[in-house]
Amino acid sequence: MSLLDLIKLNYNYNLNELATILLGFVHSIKIWITGLSRDPALVKKIGAATALEVRATGIQYAFAPCIAVCRDPRWGRCYESYSEDPKIVSAMTEIIPGLQGEIPSNGRLGVPYLAGQKNIAACAKHFVGDGGTTEGINGNNTVISRHGLLSIHMAGYYNAIIKGVSTVMISYSSWNGIKMHANREMITGFLKNTLRFRGFVISDWQGIDSITSPPHANYTYSIVAGVSAGIDMMMIPYNYTEFILLIPATHRPCHPLPPFATRNSDLTFDSLPSIC
């Protein structure tokens, strides 16, 4: 299975007959409402069970968990959030060792880890501030100080990285007017350099298209902006041939992907193409 097929399947579970078994667990907001958000151990078990079910479909990667902190109930994706409280959201990152497997006692914390064939790579999303947009409009601008962003919306990422989350997905939203998909300060500067995240960063569905307004208005610019910001993998469901053809026009140097600590040969950086 190619990575493109894998990404399509992540967003089209309803087309996969085997995936009907995945409907057994409630969404994040139901965990919050029922009080299960006070039970990280149970959420970890949910992660482990989900990993087994996803593996049964032949997929090794899931776009979960969503660690957004929903601060405005008008946001149409509040159901993806565990809580408006960043402490609860941080606690719910315990689903990551459930999905990926527990880092062994002699393992390194903060390094992407995948235990084996019964586990799947997790994805912390959406980096960052997706739950704090103005008027709760999806993909809108999150107006907040740096202190507020780091203390509220970044809270879950600190724990996710320590627990070895494999990937991080970027948010459609902006922070104080700067599109997150083009925000080098936060992706490369903070996520990779300050937090020392060593997994790979993936865009959201057609995420780089949204860098311009209207979307896709200057695709060459969007590619350059996204790659320069530090995105390692672009999620391009439809116009991937255009993306490939435009790569030479960007005149960007080749960026080899960094080493990936895993005992699972199904998902390694060695198997992924460099972004050039």
The mean of the pLDDT values for the chain is 85
Rounded Cα distance, 160 and 100, in Å: 12
Q: Label the pairing between strands 141-142 and 167-170.
A: unpaired
- 267, part of any domain: no
| Residue 233 maps to a domain | yes
pLDDT at 38: 77
Query: What percentage of the chain reaches a pLDDT higher than 90?
Result: 74
Structural domain contains residue 28:
yes
Task: Name the H helices within the chain.
Answer: 3-10, 28-33, 40-56, 86-91, 95-100, 146-148, 155-162, 184, 219-229, 240-250
273 CA to centre of own chain: 19
Number of domains in the chain: 1
* Least confident span in 34-48, 127-141, 163-177: 34-48
Angle, nearest 10°, between helix axes 240-250 and 219-229? Answer: 70
d(CA 155, CA 32): 17
Report which of 115, 85, 97 is spatially closest to residue 162, judged by C-alpha positions: 97
Q: What is the pLDDT of residues 156-176, one digit of tens each?
A: 999 999 999 999 999 999 999
* Percent with pLDDT over 70 in the chain: 78
Q: Tens of pLDDT along 219-275?
A: 999 999 999 999 999 999 998 999 999 988 776 555 444 443 333 333 444 433 444
Please report whether residue 258 resides in a domain: no
The pLDDT score that the predictor gives to residue 67 is 97
Look up the domain containing 78 and give its range.
3-253
In a domain? residue 230: yes
Q: Is residue 271 part of a domain?
A: no
On the question of pLDDT at 2 being above 90, the answer is no
Q: What is the mean pLDDT of residues 16-29?
A: 52
Specify the pLDDT at position 197. Answer: 97
Give the model confidence (pLDDT) of 192-223 as tens digits.
Answer: 999 999 999 999 999 999 999 999 999 999 99
Written as six digits, the tokens of 144 are 């907040």
- Name the band, by pLDDT with cuts 50, 70 and 90, for residue 36: low
Question: Who has greater pLDDT, 39 or 204?
Answer: 204
Residue 181 has pLDDT above 50, yes or no: yes
- Let me know if residue 162 belongs to a domain: yes
Q: Taking Cα atoms as reference points, which of 43, 55, 165, 157 lies closest to residue 100? A: 165
Q: Is residue 103 part of a domain?
A: yes
pTM of the full structure:
0.84
**What CATH number corresponds to the domain at position 122?**
3.20.20.300
